[in-house]
Amino acid sequence: MKRPVVSRDPEIMGGTPVFSGTRVPVQTLLDYLEAGDSIDDFLAGFPSVNREQVIEFLEQAKDRLVATTS
């Protein structure tokens, strides 16, 4: 079974959604993108997150958005 890309645990960052296996909140990625920074900029700042996690998170977010607007 595939490991979830995002996890929530009250013992890690107070339950804030983070990239699984890290302490990096997914909101941080969204903040970077909103500010006009690239995925590469984000990855350079948070090496515990890998590109595959970012891409999978964005794909899942897109799928949820499309599903709710269809």
pLDDT tens digit string along 31-61? 999 999 999 999 999 999 999 999 999 999 9
User: Residue 18: phi, psi to the nearest 5?
Assistant: -125, 160
Contact 15, 27 (CB under 8 A): no
Amino acid sitting at position 52: E
Single pTM value for the model:
0.89
Confidence of residue 10 (pLDDT cuts 50, 70, 90): very high
Q: Which helix (H) or strand (E) holds 40?
A: helix 39-45
Length, in residues, of the chain: 70
CA distance 7 to 29: 15
The SS3 of residue 20 is coil
